[in-house]
């Protein structure tokens, strides 16, 4: 491989990465500290940076370098960093060059304005404030998707942005297998006595909530020298490089799990980014393999570890000592069952493991129908409420608990939601393998020892960044592609114990 060409290409890619990271800092600030009045200036700034980045990346110079290097890697080990970088750049370039810079700029601006409109609409529970922005975002996403004709589904190009290599038909097939098994489990649980988790809804000091969440994720291995936590309307993680990976959470005064499990969830995302091999920094390889793989990390730490009995054997005394007024007379067993209570709920991020994926399936149906033109943005509150009733048997009384609860559409992230459910499936597949390789893993967790688990994830998942497509990576580690069997097995085992099924 021509070393001079490779060095030249990497130099150009590093510069583009720096522009994207600068835009990410502005995006993080918009969600955390930016005054509301700064939105128009911020939208213009992000629009300009996204346009510059796109134009630089789709330049003829980069295209020629990728093309020349592509012809030279035929007989080189397919798993080397450089070969994988060229292959990934070739795919991204081939897709990006079809998209006009003007559309990239317009989508970026619509997303910035959309996020601000969504935040205001959610605060007042008034969908009408978000409707014009959402309509614009959907129109632009349709325009974007049609650039990639022909396809089997207009949703395919959007899904590929978040889950490379998967098609809409693949997702539907996985969900068609998963849904009846989850519904059957929920029905069994519904026949049992309802678990009392009222102690979770008492008044909890917000400063102490923040502190106990930080203690939990510090024990997991979140590196505070390369990260921080702030408040936002909707929890998220972001990074500006391997050594600057930040998370946010939200604190609810009368609901303990929101901040605590929110921090655990986001730390899972962040520890993934902190664990990427340094040799990949400032390139497109220095990010997660996909959103499903990313979500597998956050759900593993939040649920499989964070809601396990083993973890609370270690951490419950710390929590009781922090909130003795609420938890001193709540036993470990009662607490464990309380945080794992199954009950259909309005809010996705607060949903239990048994019903969570139904929230995702509902959103997938809406997104596909929006893109196909079968439904329109203006009709979403009514459609949302109807589907919530069909899927979960409950109906939101206000938009903030329904169609306005998630930030994703305001960001233009249509195609994102399926990755949440896929992440659940992958988390269980990985957990099975970790238990096989670390035979005393649950005992380690009971003692508050997480380093072997984190190192196992570093070796098998984190260090690779996006060298491998998601299905390829999952198969390398687990021996099979993404499938529901490990997850449904995990759920049935766990909830048989919790509910005595």
Q: Is the CB of residue 380 less than 8 Å from the CB of residue 403?
A: yes
Q: Can you spell out the DSSP letters for 246-313?
A: EEEE---TT-THHHHHHHHHHHHHHHHHHTS-GGGTTSTTSS-S-HHHHHHHHHIIIIIITTSHHHHH
In whole angstroms, how far apart are CA 290 and each of 35, 141, 467? Answer: 32, 20, 10
Main-chain phi, psi angles of 145, to 5 degrees: -60, -40
| Annotation marks residue 266 as catalytic | yes
**Other C-beta atoms lying within 10 Å of the C-beta of residue 146:** 12
Write down the catalytic residue from 266, 302, 365, 367. 266
Cα 385 to chain centroid, rounded: 24
Judged by DSSP in three states, 152 sits in coil
Q: Is the previous residue joined to 150 through a cis bond, with omega within 30 degrees of 0? A: yes
**What is the rounded CA–CA span in Å between residue 261 and residue 289?**
24
**What is the rounded CA–CA span in Å between residue 500 and residue 234?**
35
Main-chain phi, psi angles of 245, to 5 degrees: -120, 115
Nearest to 336 by CA among 309, 358, 315, 362: 309
**What is the rounded CA–CA span in Å between residue 240 and residue 17?**
9
| Strands lying side by side in the sheet with 237-239 | 229-231, 245-249, 237-239
Query: What torsion, rounded to 10 degrees, do the Cα atoms 402, 267, 364, 255 define?
Result: -20
Q: Which residues are catalytic?
A: 266
């Amino acid at each position: 491989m021509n070393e001079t060409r490779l060095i030249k290409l990497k130099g150009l890619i590093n510069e583009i990465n720096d522009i994207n990271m600068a835009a990410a800092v502005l995006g993080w600030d918009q969600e955390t500290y930016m005054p509301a009045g700064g939105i128009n200036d911020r939208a213009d700034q992000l629009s300009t940076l996204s346009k510059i980045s796109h134009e630089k990346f789709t330049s003829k110079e980069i295209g020629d370098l990728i093309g020349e290097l592509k012809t030279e890697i035929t007989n080189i080990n397919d798993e080397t960093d450089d070969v994988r970088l060229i292959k990934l750049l070739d795919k991204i370039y081939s897709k990006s060059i079809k998209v006009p810079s003007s559309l990239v700029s317009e989508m970026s601006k619509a997303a910035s304005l959309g996020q601000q409109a969504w935040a205001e609409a959610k605060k007042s529970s008034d969908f009408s404030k978000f409707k014009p922005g959402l309509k614009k975002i959907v129109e632009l996403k349709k325009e974007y998707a049609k650039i990639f004709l022909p396809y089997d589904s207009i949703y395919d190009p959007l899904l590929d942005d978040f889950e490379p290599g998967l098609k809409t038909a693949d997702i539907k097939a996985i969900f068609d297998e998963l849904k009846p098994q989850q519904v059957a489990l929920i029905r069994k649980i519904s026949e049992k006595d309802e678990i009392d988790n009222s102690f979770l809804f008492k008044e909890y000091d917000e400063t102490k909530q923040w502190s106990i969440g930080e203690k939990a994720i510090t024990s997991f291995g979140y590196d505070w020298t390369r990260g921080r936590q702030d408040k936002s309307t909707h929890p998220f993680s972001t990074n500006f490089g391997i050594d600057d990976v930040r998370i946010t959470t939200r604190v609810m005064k009368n609901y303990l799990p929101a901040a605590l499990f929110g921090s655990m969830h986001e730390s899972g995302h962040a520890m993934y980014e902190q664990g990427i091999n340094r040799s990949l920094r400032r390139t497109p390889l220095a990010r997660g393999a996909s959103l499903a793989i990313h979500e597998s990390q956050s759900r593993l730490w939040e649920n499989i570890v964070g809601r396990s009995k083993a973890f609370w054997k270690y951490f419950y005394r710390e929590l009781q000592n922090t909130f003795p007024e609420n938890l001193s007379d709540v036993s470990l067993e009662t607490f464990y069952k309380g945080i794992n209570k199954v009950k259909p709920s309005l809010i996705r991020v607060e949903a239990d493991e048994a019903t969570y994926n139904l929230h995702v399936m509902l959103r997938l149906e809406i997104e596909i129908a929006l893109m196909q033109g079968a439904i329109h943005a203006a009709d979403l509150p009514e459609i949302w409420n109807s589907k919530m009733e069909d899927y979960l048997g409950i109906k939101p009384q206000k938009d903030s608990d329904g169609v306005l609860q998630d930030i994703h559409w305001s960001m233009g992230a249509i195609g994102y939601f399926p990755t949440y459910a896929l992440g659940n499936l992958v988390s269980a597949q990985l957990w099975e393998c970790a238990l096989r390789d670390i035979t005393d893993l649950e005992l380690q967790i009971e003692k508050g020892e997480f380093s072997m688990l984190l190192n196992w994830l570093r070796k098998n998942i984190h260090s690779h960044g996006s060298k491998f497509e998601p299905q390829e990576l999952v198969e390398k580690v687990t021996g099979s592609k993404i499938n529901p069997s490990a997850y449904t097995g995990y759920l049935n085992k766990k909830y048989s114990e919790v509910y005595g099924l």
